[in-house]
Structure 1
């Protein structure tokens, strides 16, 4: 069975390396399953829509970490 091409595959890895959390200016972790960029410092997950990271805090999902 062929693997489905997900929108995240269109994101340039170099772009992901350059992006930081707009609130904390810390690095982001890429979550390909949820199509999000996660800021552990801010406890926010920024969505990736149609291959474009949405880096607006008001669009981010709050996350809880143990």
Structure 2
């Protein structure tokens, strides 16, 4: 996931702002980590550079 996406992403559940938590990255993108919403306390995983923004009940 490219870090530039953070400017347009929001929580799909409550539309709150997301925080990026990086576990592994390269020069171009975040490879593993999570997106976290403080407003509704949901966490969305990033695996192999792909963020999973499905609500928890649909993952």
Displaced runs of 4+ in structure 1, greater than 2 A?
none
Q: Which structure has more helix as a fraction of its residues? A: 1
Aligned with residue 8 of structure 2, among 15, 18, 24: 18
Q: TM-score, normalised by structure 2?
A: 0.72
Number of aligned positions between the proteins: 49
TM-score of the pair, normalised by structure 1: 0.65
Structure with the bigger RCO (C-alpha within 8 Å, sep 6+) is 2
In structure 2, stretches of 5+ residues that fail to align are 24-31
Whichever of the two has the greater Rg, that structure is 1
CA RMSD after TM alignment:
1.4
Q: Which runs of 5+ in 1 are unaligned?
A: 1-10, 60-66
